[in-house]
Amino acid sequence: MSRVPLFTLILFLPFTLSSAAVSTAEQKSPSAQKSLRYGNTPDRYVPFRRFAKPYKEFFLEPIEFTGPGREKPEPEGLEFVKIGFLGPIEKTVSVATGGMSHEEPLGIKMLQGVQLAIKQANARGGYRNRIPYKLIVRNDNGLWGASGNEIIDLAYKEKVWAIIGTIDGANSHIAIRAALKAELPIMNTGDTDPTFIETNIPWVFRCISDDRQMCYLLADYAYNKLGLKRIAGLRASNRYGRINMDEFRDGSRRRGHPLVAELQYRGGDTDFRPQLQRIKSLNVDGVVTYGDAQESGLILKQMREMGMTDQVFLASDRIVFDEFLKTVGEKPGQVIAGYPYDPTLDNPKLHAFRKAFRESFNEEPEAYAAHGYDGACIIIEGIEKAGLNRALIRDSMAEIERYHGVTGEIIFDATHNDVSPASLAILQNGTFNFYTREELFGPKEKQTEQTSTANSHAKL
């Protein structure tokens, strides 16, 4: 009988003990099968698909955490189970523009949604009917690197079990790198930057559809339904404008309609006539913008004042606010925006959420409140299932492939990113109405569109 060397047993023993401590949730991969395509990208938007098949495709395999930590016991004597929140909730001066923070209204709504979820969890008895939850709130002030410091404070000083936030794309990227070092689950409920999840950080989740999904639908509607051919871009010069315009620009080019121009403005600008005059001279039939409600409203108002009354105005979900409607004037013309979900769904959870939100805050919820609520509920369910262990909480959240929340069915891909279908918000008689892809194109749209696109490519 052969003997196993002693050093082999010594090396093998810790691995065996560690593996035994791994929960069933950790052993199961987040997806039973490899995803066929990253980001649910339709055929017509796949890069270089007419020329070559890529030799390597990324973000298709489930992101896993293979490090230690699952063996840590649950602490005793806790007064609260703390969950962190990071978002822009106070007026702060922007370093880039010198103006006030433009994301504060979004952050406040997101915070309210999270607060409601915590309140309801405590009304049910708190953590396993033993310990109340407590939300630890930190402001994302927009200063470069400040979000990372807040994550470290929440992780090591406050000892939170997970974090919800934030909205600004640059700060979100910094925050998740700090969360990686702290090995702390973080659920993003407000940053629609498509590149946010492309960091391969196993502690990161997002439960709001990104601008990739919204751009696909917005471009399809512009080119297929409206028949637009010449669109110009006018965007904010910050990361939000740049990254998200990338998706619409690239999608337009792949559809055979490259943008005729792409101009910029600085956040806080109020006069856009020089850029609009140039766009007007290009004989465009549409203008697409990525920026905030105030600037976008002024752009549209000045377009109409300059005689650009027939051009379709395309934009992001950030215009779907009262601030935009108050700015544009009485004759805004045709206005269409991408939107991360359908708020008109006949969803019992959504109806109950709206009722509870009105009772708590005496106002109506919107997209950032709804996604903040869903994100907090996912974290709370993960904590209840896994117990007070950050790695196991992360595993529990990573197991979720579909989650039925107030924003509808949230579909997570292998990168823990929400790839749920987006909607369009169309301004009609002074009010935004919301439409799903099926409502806009019909149930057979997918097959018809793929066939027509293939035929058009064959002619090129």
pLDDT in tens, 122-149: 999 999 999 999 999 999 987 777 889 9
Give the residue extent of every domain in the chain. 81-209+345-411, 212-339
Residue 181 has pLDDT above 60, yes or no: yes
pLDDT digits (tens, 9 = 90+) for 12-59: 333 333 333 333 333 344 444 445 688 888 989 988 888 888 888 888
The correct CATH number of 212-339 out of 3.30.300.30, 3.40.50.2300, 3.60.21.10, 3.30.565.10 is: 3.40.50.2300
pLDDT of residue 160: 98
Cα–Cα dist 117/342, whole Å = 20
Q: What is the pLDDT of residues 225-266, one digit of tens each?
A: 999 999 999 999 999 999 999 999 999 999 999 999 999 999
Spatial separation of the C-alpha atoms in residues 428 and 371, rounded to whole Å:
25
End-to-end CA distance of the chain: 72
If you average pLDDT over each of 82-96, 127-141, 164-178, which comes out highest? Answer: 127-141
Label residues 347-364 b or e (16+ Cβ within 10 Å = b): bebbeebbebbeeebeee
Percentage above 70 pLDDT, the chain: 86
Please report the pLDDT score of residue 38 as a whole number.
87
**Mean pLDDT (whole number) for 106-131:** 97
Q: What is the pLDDT of residue 329?
A: 86
Strand ranges for 189-242 from DSSP E = 204-206, 231-236
The per-residue pLDDT for 56 is 84
Q: Specify the pLDDT at position 50.
A: 82
Give the mean pLDDT of 72-89. Answer: 96
Residue 298 contacts residue 324 (beta carbons within 8 Å): no
Q: What is the mean pLDDT of residues 393-400?
A: 96
Q: What is the pLDDT of residue 450?
A: 42
Q: Which residues, at least 6 apart from 173, have a Cβ–Cβ distance to it below 8 Å?
A: 193, 195, 196, 199
Q: So what CATH class is 81-209+345-411? A: alpha beta
- pTM listed for this prediction: 0.87
State yes or no: pLDDT of 444 exceeds 80: no
Strand stretches in 225-382, DSSP E: 231-236, 261-265, 286-290, 312-315, 335-339
Q: Are 47 and 250 in contact (CB under 8 A)?
A: yes
Mean pLDDT score of the chain: 87
pLDDT at 1 over 80: no
Q: Name which of 352, 313, 273 is nearest 432 in CA terms.
A: 313
Q: What is the distance, to the nearest Å, from the Cα of residue 65 to the centroid of all Cα atoms in its chain?
A: 22
Residue 222 has a pLDDT of 97
Fold: same for 81-209+345-411 and 212-339:
yes
Q: How far apart are CA 214 and CA 409, in angstroms?
A: 16
Better pLDDT: 153 or 24: 153
Is there a contact between 127 and 389 (Cβ–Cβ < 8 Å)? Answer: no
Strand order in the sheet with 133-139: 133-139, 81-87, 163-165, 186-188, 204-206
Query: Which whole number is the average pLDDT over 164-176?
Result: 91
Angle ∠(223,237,188) on CA atoms, nearest 5: 80
Tell me which DSSP letter residue 291 carries. S
pLDDT tens-digit readout, 264-279: 999 889 999 999 999 9
